[in-house]
Amino acid sequence: MDYKSAGVDIEAGYRSVELMKEHVRGTLRPEVMSGLGGFSGAFSAAAFKEMEEPVLLSGTDGVGTKLKLAFLLGKNDTVGIDCVAMCVNDVACAGGEPLFFLDYIACGKNYPEKIADIVKGVAEGCKMAGCALIGGETAEMPGFYPEDEYDLAGFAVGVADRKDIISGEDLREGDVLIGMASSGVHSNGFSLVRKVFPMTKEALETCYDELNGKTLGEALLAPTKIYVKALKSIKNAGVRVLACSHITGGGFYENIPRMLKDGTRAVIEKNSYEIPPIFKLLQKTGNIDEHMMYNTYNMGLGMVLAVRKEDADKTLKAIEASGERGCLVGRIVSGEKGVDLL
Domains and CATH numbers, the chain: 10-164 (3.30.1330.10), 176-341 (3.90.650.10)
Share of the chain above pLDDT 90, in %: 84
Residue 109 has pLDDT above 90, yes or no: yes
In this prediction, residue 7 carries a pLDDT of: 67
Tens of pLDDT, residue by residue over 159-215, are 999 999 999 999 999 999 999 999 999 999 999 999 999 999 999 999 999 998 899
What mean pLDDT value characterizes the chain?
A: 94
What's the pLDDT at 11? 75
Whether the predicted pLDDT of 150 surpasses 90: yes
**Pick from 54, 43, 121, 57: which is nearest to 89 by CA?**
57
Report pLDDT for 9.
64
pLDDT surpassing 70 at residue 6? no
When pLDDT is averaged across residues 249-270 and rounded to a whole number, the result is: 97
Q: 291 phi and psi, to 5 degrees? A: -60, -40
Roughly what angle, to the nearest 10 degrees, separates helices 312-321 and 228-236?
130
- Alpha carbons within 13 A on the beta-carbon side of 312: 13
pLDDT at 223 over 70: yes
pLDDT-above-70 percentage for the chain: 96
Give strand pairing partners of 160.
55
CB atoms within 10 A of CB 191: 12
End-to-end CA distance of the chain: 66
Distances (CA, A) of 16 to 102, 103, 191: 16, 14, 30
| pLDDT at position 290 over 90 | yes
0.75 exceeded by pTM:
yes
Residue 218: what pLDDT? Answer: 97
pLDDT at 125 over 80: yes
Residue 258, pLDDT above cutoff 70: yes
pLDDT of 72 strictly over 90: yes
Q: E-strand spans in the chain?
A: 54-62, 97-107, 132-140, 150-161, 176-181, 243-246, 264-268, 301-307, 326-334, 338-341
Instruction: Give the residues across from 333 on adjacent strands.
Output: 265
pLDDT of residue 225: 98
- pLDDT beyond 70 at 1: no
Cβ(99)–Cβ(118) under 8 Å? no
> Residue 33: what pLDDT?
86
- Given a cut of 70, whether residue 66 has pLDDT beyond it is yes
pLDDT in tens, 21-61: 788 788 888 888 877 667 788 888 887 888 999 999 999 99
At 3 the pLDDT is 61
14 pLDDT exceeds 80?
A: no
CA distances from 329 to 82, 274, 303 (A): 25, 11, 11
Average pLDDT over residues 283-296: 97
Quote the pLDDT of residue 43. 87
